[in-house]
Structure 1
Amino acid sequence: MYSLQPEAQSSSTLAPVLHASDTESQEQSLDAGRVKIKASFLLARPVPKHSLRVSSKLLLQVQQLPKDHRPVPVLEIRQPLLFKSKFTRGFQQDVKLRSGDLFAHLIESYVKSSPAGRSLSNSEDQTIHGKTFTANKVVGAICHNEMASKIFFQDARFGWQGRAIEVVGPQKSRKCYRFAINNEERDPACSSGIILQWEKKNEDVESAALLNGEMFTLFLIDRRARRKAKMATITNDRFEMNVRKSFVRESLQDCFDLMGYTDSETGDPRHVFESRLYTLTLTLGIWVGFQEAWFN
Structure 2
Amino acid sequence: MQSTSSSIYSSGSSTHSSNNSSTTTSSTPSQQQQQQQPPKQTFPIAYPPPLKAPTCFRRFTPNLLLQIQQLSTTSNKRRHIPILEVWQPSIFNTRVAKKVPKLGSGDVYVTQCEGFLHLRSNSEGQTDREREVNADDKEVERRVIGVVARNAQDEGKRMVYFEDGVGWEASSGDGVYRVSFQDRVLEWEKDVQGERFVLRIADSRRVKVARMSRTSVEMGSWGRRVREYLKDGLISEYGAETKEELDGRLCTLVLISGVWVAGQEGWINTS
Common topology (TM > 0.5): yes
Moved over 6 A (4+): 122-125
Q: Tell me, yes or no, if structure 1 residue 177 matches structure 2 residue 177.
A: yes
Q: Tell me, yes or no, if structure 1 residue 4 matches structure 2 residue 13.
A: no
1 CA distance for matches of 2:9 and 2:136?
A: 22
Deviation (angstroms), 1:108: 1.2
Deviation (angstroms), 1:227: 6.5
Aligned position for 1:153? 162
CA distances 1:260-284 after superposition (whole Å, capped 9, x unpaired): 2544x8xx93322222111111000
Structure 1 spans left out of the alignment, 5+ residues: 9-33, 126-132, 167-174, 182-190, 204-212
Structure 2 spans left out of the alignment, 5+ residues: 13-35
Q: 2:167·2:233 contact (CA, 8 Å) conserved in 1?
A: no
- Report the AA paired with residue 5 of structure 1: Y
Partner of residue 145 from structure 2, selected from 136, 139, 144: 139
Aligned position for 1:272? 245
CA shift in 2, pair 1:45/1:59, >3 Å: same
Aligned position for 1:217? 198
2 CA distance for matches of 1:221 and 1:124?
A: 41
Aligned position for 2:114? 108
CA distances 1:233-269 after superposition (whole Å, capped 9, x unpaired): 0011111011333211221223324xx2544x8xx93
Deviation (angstroms), 1:113: 4.8
Q: 1:112·1:271 contact (CA, 8 Å) conserved in 2?
A: no
Alignment of 1:1-296 (within 5 A): 4-8=8-12, 35-36=37-38, 38-50=40-52, 54-67=60-73, 68=75, 69-82=78-91, 84-89=93-98, 92-93=99-100, 95-113=101-119, 119-120=131-132, 121=134, 134-144=140-150, 147-155=156-164, 157-166=165-174, 175-181=175-181, 191=182, 193-203=183-193, 214-222=195-203, 228-257=206-235, 260=236, 262-263=238-239, 269-296=242-269
2 CA distance for matches of 1:288 and 1:161?
A: 13
Q: 2:45·2:217 contact (CA, 8 Å) conserved in 1?
A: yes
CA shift in 2, pair 1:37/1:249, >3 Å: farther
Look up the SS of the partner of 1:65 in the other structure.
Answer: strand
More RCO (CA 8 Å, sep 6+): 1
Look up the SS of the partner of 1:98 in the other structure.
Answer: coil
- Report the AA paired with residue 43 of structure 2: F
CA distances 1:154-180 after superposition (whole Å, capped 9, x unpaired): 12x4201111111xxxxxxxx100111
CA shift in 2, pair 1:200/1:227, >3 Å: closer
- Report the AA paired with residue 259 of structure 2: I
CA shift in 2, pair 1:123/1:250, >3 Å: farther
Look at both structures and tell me which one has the larger radius of gyration over its CA atoms.
2
Look up the SS of the partner of 2:233 in the other structure.
Answer: helix
Q: 1:84·1:98 contact (CA, 8 Å) conserved in 2?
A: no
TM-score by length of 1: 0.66
Aligned position for 1:29? none
- Report the AA paired with residue 147 of structure 1: G
2 CA distance for matches of 1:261 and 1:221?
A: 24
Moved more, 144-153 or 283-292: 144-153
TM-score by length of 2: 0.72
2 CA distance for matches of 1:274 and 1:161?
A: 20
CA shift in 2, pair 1:124/1:154, >3 Å: farther
Q: What do you get for the CA RMSD once the two structures are aligned?
A: 3.0
1 CA distance for matches of 2:229 and 2:253?
A: 14
